[in-house]
Structures are given as structure tokens and as C-alpha cells.
Structure 1
Amino acid sequence: MRRAALATALLFSGSAFADDQGGDVESQLETLVVTGSPLHDSRADYAGSMAVLEADSLTLVNHSHIQQSLARVPGANLSRGNGQEYLPALRSPVLTGAGACGSVLAMQDGIPLFPAGFCNINELFAAHSEQAERIEVIRGPAGTLHGAGAMHGVVNVLGPSYGSADTGRASLEAGPNDRWRFTSRIPTATGAGSGLLAAVSLASDGGYRASSGYDQQKLTLVHRSGQSTSETRFNATNLEQDTAGYVVGEDAYRDDVLRRSNPNPEAFRNVRTARLSHRLESEWGAGYKLEITPYARYGKMGFRQHFLPGQPLEETAHGSAGVRTSLTVPVNDLLGVAAGVDGEITHASLRQSQSGIAAGSGFLAETVPPGRHYDYHVNAFLLSPYALASLRLTERLVLEAGLRLEKLSYDYDNRMLAGRTRDDGSSCGFGGCRYSRPADRRDDFENWSPQLGLLYSWRPAHQLFVNLAHGFRAPQATELYQLQREQQVAELDSEEVRSVELGLRGGAGDFDYEVVGFAMEKRNVIFRDADFFNRSGGTTTHRGLELALGYQLAPQWLVDVSASYAEHRYDDERLLDGIALQDKLVDSAPRSFGSARLQWQPDAATQLELEWLHQGQYYTDPLNLHSYPGHDLLHARATRRLGERWSVGVRLLNLLDEEYAERADFSNFSGDRYFPGESRALYAELSLQL
């Protein structure tokens, strides 16, 4: 096939490990980063895998969903659902079900988007990524530096800051299905070098499928003091989304009628979030630096669980406050040390209720009754000291070692009768109600996260690194306190990942590269067994190779590629339908996926890009009996400046109008099921520099 041949040619000639457009390799490696380590401020000093999506790239992609930008990162394979929903995958299978959320730490400006222990599987929709100045991604365990949830990696969305030389801008975008989006960024000087930046993103989308539109508003306010380096940030988001469910049937995503249908027009998700932080920074002496960032968060969500019998409504809320600290001490010319304490307190609540009788069978009608299923509050406390040291062993060799201790405590208060009764205390037939509520209790989890890395600069702008890391994920509140059937207590352990990676990066002249091989073992994997009990004790193994290559074909032409090959397998003695899971490939885990871009800049005012996305075949059930064949997509993008103030941009997505599934799955109840991908779509944007 011609497309496959083109993809293969690009795969072996192209780069996406830092997505910096133009410039020499050494300057790309010296790209300033804030997510990697308090002891270093550039990618060249980081003994691990990090990708940086810069402002130029984000502007060109102009994503309506963050997955469209993260597709440029090796090892990142987010699976979109409907609207702004997604399932995460970062050096992992697509994470779904019990034990899924909270495995990839999602942050905005260095602050986790949700409290520790109260994750949301779609939490990046609460980041103002549409106005990001950059997105930094750590692949692999990063618990030593970042703590709870950084088991498979970190996605940190870095928003804009106020600059006295900045000018404002505004843009308006239109597309199919009544899609429009307005964005603006306005700086205002407040005197003595201080200033306030206001960034707004407003979007509305009628939805590619029936009853699947959304309205979304995001606001960022940043105040920067001219008298100090302190900065105050406020972010607020609101999402009102009609949710589309799976279409069912073999290859249903290829059916022109089914792909636009919505079996669950009543489903919705409404989410509101707000975050306030204030960063204090002080430097003195020869390199001493102290950072203190207190913050507060609020979140509220209403979610119609259309995939459950009776379609119950889940209502969650949380309020939290915390502080993140870092003290950097240059002991001498060879040794640097950073240490700090992170702390957080959270008050959260969850209520699940059902208004009508569950349809489908007499068994469901009796065991899934109307009324409240769960109603509880949880107070949580997190305390997490850490230390990191960097020792230069020779002129070219640096050793880095770190350790974090994290303690997370839950105080659970059940606001209903304990057990598996109806909300009025009466019993259900057929042995009891489906939902079970534990009695009031307290749970504590303590985790250690060590890390050891070596970085060797074997030539200028060429580095070899080895990284041994440990990541962890404490059980989330929903896994501990939303039980089913006879289970009265979920005795869960923290999930753990042990990882080793070996990487080589650098370049010369017009060529740059990064190659990383990794091996990980994940223990105490949390899952729901055949009795619908939340259990821990599963084990999986993960082996893979990530590749990023870039080549400046000519002054006006650039080829850029990211590619991943990995095998994620079960490594435990569990049986499913009497069949052992041992050595089976984890479902929703393609061996190969990646992207490639051919960019042309004919003049200083014009930029064009052709992007190819590849999704390999993957199994849709744990026993590897059903699969999705994968797909290949082509996208085209272009921007053009019109004078000093105006510019235009166009995006033609799914250029060849392929029929594909954003996500494929298999259920024993319904069979093959899919979230259909959108057909060819043209978006146009007009921007004004104010």
C-alpha cells in the first residue's frame, strides 16, 4: 500500500522527542524544562525520558482535544472517547476499569489537577491546554520527584505568564457540526514591572454523533510581580457535555448510519474545576534556591453512568489545599542537593443514586434498586518528604539519586446504612443488592519511591543515560469504598512499578535522535474479579522501545517522527473463564503506534504540515480472542501570516476520510463495540494580534 510505504520511509528518516522547530541540536537539548528535576533546568541534564511540546508546535496543531498534541510524544497513546473524554496510556496499555485512573499524573503549572486519591480518568480536560505555552511529558515512573500518581509518567501543562513586552491576541475558529471556538490572551500592566494576564478559551461543538455536543469554557489569570519572582495563578474550567456511548456489532464503526448514532442520548457529564496557587521563589548566595507554592482546588461533577444498569447519577465534589516546596543547595562544585516536603488536605464526597427501575431483566430490577447506592464523605491527608542529589563523578559522568516517602490517609464516613441493602434498609432479592457500602473506617498507605540515574556525555550534544526508578499508586477512594455484592472491605495494597530504561540521545548538524529501551514490572495491580470484588495482586510486565528521529531535509523542509513498539503482558496465575491469563497480551495495548510529520516552510510567513498517525492492531479482550485491526490517518495543517497583525490557519483532519475507531472494546454482554472516529473535517481559524 502506498500509505504504508510512505509511513515506513518517514519512520526511518524523521523526530518528536522535543518538537522544537528549527535551531541546532545542542540548543534543543538545552531547552529549559521545569518538570524534570529541581537540580537541572534543561533536557540535556535529565537522566530519563522527557518530551517537550513547544508553543510553535501547539499553535500549529491547535488541538480541540489534547490527544491531538500528545500524539507527537513517543509512548503516549491516549484513547479518545466522545467529546473531551479519553483513557490515558503513557508507556502503558490504555488504562481502563479498576486501577486505571491515577496512574499518570496530570498537572497544570506543576500542581496536580485533582487531589491525591481522588483521580478522574479524564482529568486533562481540566487543564487549560488550549492556551499552553508548552507541555512537558515524563515517560516512565517519576514518583521520586512528583509523588502520588506518577507511576507511568507525568503530563504537565504549562500556561502563559505575564511579560511586559507581550501583546494581546484573539482568534475565532469554525468547523463542521456547528463547531466554533474563541480564544483571547490580554496582558495588562499594573505598574513597576508587574502585570496581569487574562487568557480565555470558549468552545462549542454540536458533536459528530447524535446528541454528543459540548460547551466548554476555560479561564486563566496570572499576576506576576515586578518587585519579586512571585507569581499568582488562577484557573477555572466548566464543561457541559452530552456523552455518546459505544456502537455495538462487528465493524459497527464502518456503518455510515451507526457511526453517527448514539445509543445513549440521555448520558451527560458536567464538570467544574478551579485552582489557585501562589509561587514564592527566593535565591541567595551561589545557587541557593527556595520555592514554596501553596495552592487550593475545587471540583464538582455530575455524571450519568449510562453503561451501568439503571443508569445511576454519580455526583462528586472535592475541596483541597496543599503546598509544594523545594530547597536547592549547591554543596560544592561537584554535588548538588534538593529536598522538600509536599503536603495536602482534602475533603471529598460521592453520591450515587438511581431514579428508576433498572431495565433488562427481573434480576437487574431487583438487585439494582432505585434510590441511593452510595453516599459518603472522605477526609484525606497527604505528607510527602523527598530528597534528590546530583554528583558529578567525572567531567562527563553524573550520578543522580533520590528518595521519597509518601503517606496518604483516608478517613471515610458512610452517610448510609452499611452493607448491601436498599437505602431504606430493606433487602434485595436474589441474594442481596448489587452495591455494598463499607462501615466507617480509616485507611493508611505508606510508599517509598527510590530513583537512581547515570548520565554520560560521551560526546558534545550526545548523551547516554540509564535510569532505575520506582513508581507507586495508592488505592483510590472509589476503589476502597464503592464495593459490590458480598464484599464488605477492600483490602487493597498500593500498586508498584519497577522500571529500568536505557537511552541515547543527541545529534549533529541537521539530524537529531532519541532511542530509549525500557522494561517494567507492575505489581499489586488492582482489578475487579469475577465476583465483582476489588482485588489487588495482579502482575503485568512491560517491555518496549521508543524512537524519535528528526532530519532537516533542506532549509525549508523538516521530517519529524515518533514511534513506539511495546509488549504489555499479564504475568500472574489468574484464570478468566477457566483460561489462564499468563503471558497473554493486555487488551487495549497495540504493539506499535506512532506519528510522522513532513513540514514545509516556504517563507517566514507560511508553515505547512502533513501528519501521518499509525495505530497498530490490538486485542480488545484479556483472553486475546477478539481484536481491532488498527488504522492509519493523514492530517494536513497550514498557517499564514497576513501582514503584521492578522493570520489564518486551516486544519484538514482525516484527509483520506478513513473509517476507523477511536477506541475498540469487547464485552461478553454485547460483543464488539466501538467509539467511531470522525470523518474528514475542515477547520479554519482567523487570528488578530491586538
Structure 2
Amino acid sequence: MRFSPRFPLSLITLSLLSSATLAQETYEIERIETTSSRIQGKINASGYAVTSISEETLSLLSFQHIQESLNYIAGAGVQRGNGQEYLPALRSPVLTGAGACGGILAAEDGIPLRAAGFCNINELFEAHGEVAERIDVIKGPASALYGSNAIHGVINVITPDTTREKGVLGVDYGSYGFHRMKLQQGSDFGSAGVGIAASVTRDTGYRDDEGVDQEKVSLRHRIEGDNTVITSGMTYTHLDQETAGYIEGFESYKDTEIARSNPNPEAFRKARSLRLWSKFDSFFEGGHALSVTPYVRNQDMRFLMHFLPGKPLEENAQKGVGVLSQFNYVVNDSVSLDVGVDAEYTEGELIQSQQGATEGSAFLVETIPAGKHYDYDVNATLFAPFFALNWQDDAWAVTLGGRFETMQYDYTNNMNVGRVREDGTECGFGGCRYSRPADSENDYDNFSPKLSVRYQLSPQTQLFGGMARGYRAPQATELYRLQRAQSVTELESVIADNIELGITGALLSGSYTLSLYSLKKDNVIYRDSDFFNVSNGETWHRGVELSFDQKLSDTLRVDFAGTYARHTYEHSQFSGDQDIKGNDIDTAPKLLLNTRLSYDISQEIQAQLEWQHVARYYTDAENLNEYDGHDLVHARVSWGITQSITLYARINNLFDTDYAERADYTSFSGPRYFPGRPRNFMLSASFMYK
């Protein structure tokens, strides 16, 4: 499959041609789109909260990696790898290993970044977060708008509407060769508009032989007529990354020379993505509204799996089309009904190959041969109708909904079948590590009911709660990328049942949200002691989250996001000679805190201190090895020189703390880490113009 920018151009053409039939009068609606509804101006008064990171907050932060912004979300504990890589966590442990990918749905402007069965654990690097208007987060499987992969929640990057004549030019310059240019430019013609947002990032990195070159561009077109709005968008991203791998040795991140080293200078990741969409919003008498969003995706990636014996090269690609829809029917002032159908068709392919002989023991050399390990195509079809019945009066708001989703895979193996070499000869020691199943088809059907309730206890206070089921169909790589003696999988969809209770409201000179949740997962996919992909795991995730902001004086403000949670194995599985049932899941710190103190030095100058706390956590399922956690302090200041020009200065890791962005343990390597950067700075300038 070749990456072809011409593949999806028909959608933009469709949008432009359709706009010619619209009248020139603009239908006046409130320009609000939330992650809880696809319809402009419709805010779903449901029993779950959408937490947003605002444009102002993102501008002050100007993150080098999106993980820095997600620290502001209670319940999120994303760990940065090297370059643009990361491992996600949202009301979950940090998701790693078999079965981890797809636990959190990542989206841009409400459209999932990847097809449901073709996730990538690092997929948020394909969203244009560098210029985001905001980032929305839904926690847990709360909304009927989102199906497979939204078990632990949704992270939705909202790109700016550049068609409103907002011109912005920005530049960032930081330590270790980091620099970035950002541009937003648009033209507003009243009932129509066009715009562009672009960013170019260069980062030579803290460690040896690492670096990131990344370019992103987002185009936007808008046209409005009588009761109709058509918005079209495109995002193209390109990543060329030289990757630094783990460093090994107990607390090796505390040794500067080791921390800066790169044991894998040969590692790289090269990726491109293109998404194109047109959103058709129509509004009718009686308050009814319809939103339909067709879209296309085209992606490819090559990366060296330096963390595996033999260091094979993976080449994967996918292209597909889909549509999202929602119709809001207003029955009366108290009752409305949301219905819709989401559909998607994706063609994916994957090749894993190894150039030279494997280094290591005789067993590794014999069982991991050079040549192709996998070569397959997968066509996937998704169809998902959903509904939500909404009732609301002065004090109560109740939503009862559900989503049915069917996923069908059609898999074609382009190599020989079984655990043999590419040329068909057998490996010693019982056979080759990598096993290729024969051509097959797999179907998965899931239904997820949702109930959410909100009660207005007083003018300042609301109670909310809900029960919801989420699901995650097995990913293509779990079904068809097998090992050892496994020749076929019989995986079930992961099922998650969530209960949540909370209270939110205004207090003194600020606001707060306190929530408690319990999420139990069944059919969890993992790789057992025979290296089989199986789906008989059970885990339990429960915790309490608190977010608040409070104005302490005319010049002081504090923002806080904290969570205390437990994530445990609930199934019997022997790792070594120990049953891990009841153990904490590895990489699951119980306590995560983020506190920001902002001080308005003057009307033009604002300073901010941020404290981030990560508690200790186990790095293995046996709970025998652990990382001590860390505390980081960051300082920032902004100076609005004029209404158009703002300067920023930031010092990250103010006290030069030795810490690990990620700590891990394997029986082969022992403790290993991605070291955090020492104290570093960034200077930025932003110029707004029309």
C-alpha cells in the first residue's frame, strides 16, 4: 500500500460542490462543539463530565510532548517514552504489552485517529495538539457516541477554527536543540471561510543519536446557509524520529553519562498520516438537528523494533473510509432522542522482517531467523447504531442509551503458514518463534448499555452518577501476529463494567469535581506462559479523583488534579512460581497529583509554578521490583507586551531532579528506564494579527 494524498480528495470536492447550493444567509447558532455531542450548540447534560484543557492553558504550557498537558487531568498518568512515543494511562495502569493497545480511544475533532482494530499505542502523535484549541477528555466508557477502544475513556484533540480570521505566528526555542514554528491563518468571508494551521518541530534531543523532525498541517473550510453549516478539514502529519532505547541497570537514570547514552542508535520511527473529513450540520424547526461526518484516513509507518531480539523492521499501513452521524429529535421541552449510525471500512497491511542473524543465545539465533516473519492483509468492516433517550427537568437530567457494534475481519496471510522460516524450512528447538495463522474471518458483536444521571442539589451543586459497559474488540495484531505453537486464536472482546458517583459545583471563588469509580474488566487479553494470546484475564480498577480551581486572592489562583487508585489482577496466572491474583498491576502508581499556583504579577505578566507528584509503583507483575516515584517542579511566566505580542519563558524540572519518565523491569534486562530530562528551558513568542 502506498501513501497517496490524492486518495481522499473527493470529500473536499463534495463539500465545495454542496456549498454552492446553499443560500448566503447565515443561520445564527452558538459555536459550541463538545466531545459529548457531535451537534453544534448541543451540550449533553449527562451524568459524566468532559474535562477540557483550554487554549490559554495550552499556550502557557506549549508542550514539547502531549503527555505534559495530560498531567493536568485527574486520573491520567501518561508516561513519555523517547521522541514522540508514550504509553497511555487513564483510570488505568500504564497500558503496556499484549492487550494494551486500544484501551483508550484517541481522536481529533471527534474522529478516531485509527480504525477500531488497528490502533497504535503512540497514536496521539498524529493529532495536531501543537495548535489545539483545547483537549477534551472523557473518563471511562461513558458515552454511546464511542464504541470499541473507549474502555478507559476518550482523549479528543480539538483543532482551531481557522476560518474566523484569527492569525497567529508562534516560535519556540528550547534546550537540547528544540525549536518549533507555528502558524494559523484564515480568511472569513461571512458565510464562508478558509484557514490553515501548521507546525514544524525540530528536536535534536537530550540523549545521544536521538532526534525528532515533525511537520503537521491542518486545513479548514466552512460555508453556512439557511439552517445548514458544512465544515471540512484535513490534517496531514509527518514524523521522522531517531529513537533512543531503554537504559539498563538499577537506578541508572541517576548516572548522567548513562542517562544520556543510547544503547539503540539504529532505532527509528517514520510515519505519515492523512485524514480528511466533511461535517454536515443541519437544523430544523422544532429544535431538531442532524450531524453527518464522512471521513477518510490514509496512514503508513516504518519502525525498527529495537526492543525485540533480532531487531526486526515493522512496516504497516492502513487506508479507509467511514462516517459518523447523530440526529437529535426534540420531543418536548423535557425529552429528546439521539440516534445515529457509525460505519467504517479499513484495509490494513503489516510486514515484519529481519535483515541479519539474531544475536544472543543459540536458542534465540535458531528460533528467530532472518527474513520475513509476518506478511498479511486485513480488511475490517465496522457498523454501529446507537441511541440515547434524554429526559430533563428543573433538577434532574437522565440519559439512557446503548450502542450495538459489529466488527468483521477478513485476514489474508501472504506467507507460508505456521512457525517455519520464510523459505519453509523448520527451526530447531521445537520451531520458530513467530507463527502465521491461515487465512480466516473473525466477527465480533457487542452491545453496551449506558445510564447516566445528574441531579441539581442546589444552584451551586450537582450530583452525578452512572453505570456503563464498554468493550474492545481484539486488535488485528492480537489475532494474526502469533508466537510459538499457537496457530489460531479464540479471543473474546474485552468487556468493562463501570460505576461512577460524583459531585461537582462552585465553592467560594472557584469550582470542584469529586468522583469515585469502579471499573471491572473481563476477557482481558494478555500473553500467557506459553506465549499464547489469550483473553481470560480479569482486572479491577477503582479510585477517587478530585479536581478544583480556586482564586485565593485578586492575584493568586490554584489549580489541582489528583487521584488515588488501585489497579489489580483478579485472575489466577502464574508468573514464575507466583500467582499474581490480587497483585497490583505493574506501572500503576496509586497516587498522582498535579498542582499549579498562578500569580498575576501585573495585568500583563503572569507567573506559574507547577508541582507534579508520581508515587512509587511496581515494575513487574510479581510486585518484587519497584520505582520510587518522583516529584517535579516547573516554572513559567508570560508577558503580554501588547494585545498582539506575548512572550513566554519556561523552566522545566526546576530543581534538576534525577527521575525516570518510565521505569520497567524484564527478566532478561532487569530494571530499565527512559530517563527524564534534566533542568531545561524554553522561550516562546506569539504574535496575533488579522
Report how far residue 101 of structure 1 moved: 1.0
What residue number does 1:497 align with? 496
Matches within 5 A, 1:108-127: 108-127=108-127
Question: Where do 1:462-611 residues align within 5 Å?
Answer: 462-611=461-610
Is residue 89 of structure 2 the alignment partner of residue 84 of structure 1?
no
Instruction: Give, in angstroms, the shift of residue 106 of structure 1.
Output: 0.4
Deviations 1:507-538 (A, max 9, x none): 13403111000011110000001111101110
TM-score normalised according to structure 1 size: 0.94
Q: Distance in 1 between matches of 2:643 and 2:35?
A: 34
TM superposition outliers: structure 1 runs of 4+ over 3 Å: 30-33, 37-44
Q: Alpha carbons of 1:445 and 1:117: their partners in 2 closer, same or farther (altered >3 Å)?
A: same
Amino acid at match of 1:202: V
Taking only the aligned residue pairs, the percentage that are identical comes to 45
1:307 pairs with 2:312: no
- SS for the counterpart of 2:391 is strand
| Aligned: 1:367 with 2:367 | yes
Offset at residue 378 of structure 1 (A): 0.5
1:143 is displaced (CA, Å) by 5.6
Cα separation, 2, equivalents of 1:37 and 1:291: 10
- Pick closer, same or farther for the CA change 1:75–1:437 going to 2, 3 Å: same
CA contact (8 A) 1:466 1:501 kept: yes
Range with greater deviation from structure 2 (34-43 or 341-350):
34-43
Question: How much has 1:602 moved relative to structure 2?
Answer: 2.7
Secondary structure class of the residue paired with 2:286: coil
Counterpart residue type for residue 655 of structure 2? L
Partner AA of 1:70 in structure 2: L
Give the superposition deviation at 1:431. 1.1
Q: Distance in 2 between matches of 1:233 and 1:167?
A: 17
Shift of 1:347: 0.3
Preserved CA contact (<8 Å) 1:388 1:403: yes
Q: Give, in whole Å, the separation in 2 of the partners of 1:508 and 1:582.
A: 42
With over 3 angstroms needed to count, the CA separation of the structure-2 counterparts of 1:510 and 1:45, relative to structure 1, is same
Bigger drift between 296-305 and 458-467 goes to: 458-467
Please name the residue that 2:64 is paired with.
Answer: 64
TM-score (normalised: structure 2): 0.94
Match in the other structure for 2:222: 224
Question: Which one-letter code corresponds to 1:35 in the other structure?
Answer: T
Letter in 2 for 1:412: Y
1:282 aligns with 2:282: yes
8 Å contact kept, 1:309–1:359: yes
Shift in Å, 1:641: 1.5
Which residue in the other structure is 2:389 paired with?
Answer: 389
For the structure 1 residues 644 and 38, does the alpha-carbon distance in structure 2 shift closer, same or farther, using more than 3 Å as the test?
closer
Alignment-derived partner of residue 14 in structure 1: none
Q: Is 1:162–1:224's contact at 8 Å kept on the other side of the alignment?
A: no
The residue type paired with residue 280 of structure 2 is L
Listed as ranges, the gaps of 5+ residues in structure 1 are 1-29
Q: Which moved more, 1:527-536 or 1:137-146?
A: 137-146
Secondary structure of the structure 2 residue equivalent to 1:358: coil
User: Which residue identity lines up with residue 416 of structure 1 in the other structure?
Assistant: M
Counterpart code for 1:57: T
Cα deviation 1:210-269 (Å, max 9, x = unaligned): 111110000000011143411000000000111111111111110111100011110011
Equivalent-residue separation in structure 1 for 2:190 and 2:682 (angstroms): 42
Mapped partners of 1:139, 1:124: distance in 2: 17
Q: Is the 8 A contact 1:186 1:198 kept in 2?
A: yes
Matched residue, 1:45: 45
Shift of 1:40: 9.9
**Per-residue deviation, 1:639:** 1.1
CA distance in 1, matches of 2:253, 2:595: 25
- Asked if the contact 1:38/1:338 (under 8 Å) is kept, the reply is no
Higher RCO by CA contacts (8 Å cutoff, separation 6 or greater): 1
Task: Provide the rounded CA distance (Å) in 1 between the counterparts of 2:384 and 2:427.
Answer: 44
- Amino acid in structure 2 at the alignment position of 1:629: D
Q: Who is 1:614 aligned against?
A: 613
Alpha-carbon offset, residue 401 of structure 1 = 0.6
Shift of 1:355: 0.2
Match of 1:8 in 2: none
Q: 1:321 to 1:52 in 2, by over 3 A?
A: same
What RMSD over aligned residues (CA atoms) do the two structures have, in Å?
Answer: 1.5
Deviation at residue 111 of structure 1 after TM alignment: 0.4
The count of aligned residue pairs is 658
Deviates most, 409-418 or 41-50:
41-50
Q: Is 2:352 aligned against 1:352?
A: yes
Q: Is the 8 A contact 2:352 2:373 kept in 1?
A: yes
Distance 2:33 2:261 in 1: 44
The superposition leaves residues 165-218 of structure 1 with CA deviations (integer Å, 9 ceiling, x where unpaired) of x331211111111111000111124x4531111111000000111111110000
Following superposition of structure 1 onto structure 2, how do residues 670-689 of structure 1 map, counting pairs within 5 Å? 670-689=669-688
Measure the CA separation in 2 of the matches of 1:171 and 1:453.
Answer: 42
Amino acid at match of 1:220: S
CA–CA distance in structure 1, aligned partners of residues 520 and 312 of structure 2: 36
Partner of 2:538, secondary structure, is strand
Q: Secondary structure at the match of 1:130?
A: helix
Equivalent residue of 1:410, what SS? strand
Structure 2 gaps of 5+ residues are: 1-29
Asked if structure 2 preserves the Cα contact closer than 8 Å seen for 1:142 and 1:152, the reply is no
Deviates more, 1:642-651 or 1:333-342: 642-651
The answer to whether the Cα contact below 8 Å between 1:78 and 1:87 also exists between their aligned partners in 2 is yes
| Inter-CA distance 59–513: structure 2 relative to 1 (3 Å threshold) | same
Secondary structure of the 1:160 match is: coil
CA contact (8 A) 2:162 2:197 kept: no
Instruction: Specify the alignment match of 1:36 in structure 2.
Output: 36
**Which residue type is aligned with residue 198 of structure 2?**
V
Does the CA contact (< 8 Å) of 2:48 and 2:142 recur in 1? no
Counterpart of 1:213, as a letter, is: G
Find the residue that maps to 1:144 and give its secondary structure. coil
